[in-house]
């Protein structure tokens, strides 16, 4: 197997040094401040554009998913052209599209394995730092958490916090179980999963719990079947030791009469009704509340979204956008899978790619019950993970070429 270069052979100019530092800031802030994270990202993007203009170099990294990303952009544009509220849709169009360069700016500025480790480490450190900080709140209000009177939401609402913790655990676990991970790193990875899992538990976000379990199943099915049994054992132990209030929350996942589940089923039914009326390009990337009353059953308060990624894509972007996004994420999965296979013996690249595969599955299982594609914090992290792992793909081509 080819090894990735450990040192870059290109000297960074001042522009590159500042851009790289801003990317570190961007990733370090992803889990606790979307404002600071966006400042880091958009500053880096602006500086990169200035550099390209000054140098008259308008090249950009090519990736295996370029055409699929363009397909998604096309779907967003068409949905806006045919939107029921074009100004509203245009607002969300620019918000969604402006995040996509995350993928390319990361690829463009990662020229060595060291770069990759620094930026990946910044992303993980952000989530771990939040999880450790949040333990203080759990300790102070432990009784309220046990009685399901409080949900963890130190820096974001509990659904976002649950999604972030789910992603971080799934990224870290492959480092724990890879046989060639250095002992010190394996121990450190194992230790930092503890606050992450505690945080995930006490967000009480059921969809994130299910996403985590789905990601573990993928991880076990692809590489580590022995991982599944211990995780199931831990889950059963948590259920056994939980208070009645916590047990009720956990078991509500499979209770169709639970109010939250009844509400979601109604939202999904309403979404299907809207899709039937706007099947091709959808209503535009707008809030569902502006059309809710026309398609929902009487007596239900308007909802801004439908707590399901696929139904929201069908409603807002139509069949064209739904197909484009399914194709995009499927292409990302295939690329990640090929990287994971190619670098089976490389503990870092393999673990990162396997974590990425698990995150994609966890993200979409989570997205069956939440609109996490529309959550700025979550989707920013997803694009960052895609950029980081595609950067590893770029490095591998450099070596094999």
Which of 30, 23, 41 shows the shortest CA–CA distance to 127?
A: 30
What does the angle CA 328 – CA 377 – CA 95 come to, to the nearest 5 degrees? Answer: 65
Which of 316, 265, 260 shows the shortest CA–CA distance to 287?
A: 316
State the virtual CA torsion across 52, 58, 64, 68 in degrees, nearest 10. 100
**Cβ-count burial 194-210 (b if 16+ within 10 Å, e if not):** ebbbbbbbbbbbbbbbb
DSSP single-letter state for residue 205 = -
What is the residue-level pLDDT of the chain in tens, covering all 401 positions? Answer: 444 444 444 456 788 899 999 999 999 999 999 999 999 999 999 999 998 888 887 788 899 999 999 999 999 999 999 999 999 999 999 999 999 999 999 999 998 999 999 999 999 999 999 999 999 999 999 999 999 999 998 788 899 999 999 999 999 999 999 989 999 999 999 999 999 999 999 999 999 999 999 999 999 988 888 888 888 888 888 888 889 999 899 988 888 888 888 999 999 999 999 999 999 999 999 999 999 999 998 888 888 899 999 999 999 999 999 999 999 999 999 999 999 998 988 899 999 999 999 999 999 999 999 999 999 999 999 999 999 999 988 876 554 43
The answer to whether 159 and 205 have CB atoms below 8 angstroms apart is: yes
């Amino acid at each position: 197997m080819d090894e990735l270069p450990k040192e870059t052979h290109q000297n960074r100019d001042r522009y590159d040094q500042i851009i790289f530092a801003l990317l570190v800031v961007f990733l370090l802030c992803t889990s606790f401040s979307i404002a600071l994270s966006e400042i880091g990202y958009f500053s880096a993007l602006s500086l990169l554009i200035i550099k390209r203009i000054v140098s008259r170099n308008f090249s950009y990294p090519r990736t295996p998913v370029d055409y699929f990303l363009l397909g998604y952009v096309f779907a967003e544009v068409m949905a806006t052209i045919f939107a029921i509220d074009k100004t509203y849709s245009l607002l969300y169009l620019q918000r969604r599209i402006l995040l996509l360069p995350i993928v390319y700016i990361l690829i463009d500025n990662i020229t060595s394995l060291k770069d990759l480790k620094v930026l990946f480490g910044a992303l993980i450190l952000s989530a771990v730092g939040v999880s450790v900080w949040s333990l203080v709140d759990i300790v102070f209000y432990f009784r309220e958490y046990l009685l399901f009177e409080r949900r963890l939401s130190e820096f974001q609402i509990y659904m976002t916090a649950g999604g972030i913790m789910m992603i971080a655990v799934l990224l870290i676990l492959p480092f724990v179980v890879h046989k060639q991970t250095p002992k010190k790193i394996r121990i450190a990875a194992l230790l930092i999963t503890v606050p992450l899992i505690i945080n995930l538990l006490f967000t009480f976000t059921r969809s994130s719990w299910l996403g985590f379990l789905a990601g573990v199943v993928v991880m076990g099915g692809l590489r580590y079947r022995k991982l599944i049994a211990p995780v199931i054992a831990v889950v059963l132990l948590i259920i056994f030791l939980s208070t009645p209030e916590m047990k009720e929350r956990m078991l509500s996942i499979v209770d169709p009469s639970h109010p939250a589940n009844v509400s979601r089923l109604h939202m999904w039914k309403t979404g299907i009704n809207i899709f039937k009326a706007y099947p091709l390009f959808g209503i535009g990337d707008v809030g569902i509340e502006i059309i809710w009353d026309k398609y929902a059953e009487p007596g239900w308060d308007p909802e801004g979204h439908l707590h399901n990624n696929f139904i929201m894509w069908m409603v807002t972007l139509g069949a064209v956008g739904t197909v484009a996004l399914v194709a995009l994420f499927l292409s990302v999965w295939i690329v990640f899978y090929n990287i994971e296979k190619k670098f089976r013996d490389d503990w870092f690249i393999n673990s990162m790619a396997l974590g990425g595969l698990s995150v994609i599955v966890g993200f979409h299982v989570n997205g069956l019950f939440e609109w996490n594609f529309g959550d700025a914090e979550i989707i920013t992290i997803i694009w960052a993970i895609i950029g980081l792992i595609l950067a590893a793909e770029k490095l591998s081509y450099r070596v094999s070429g």
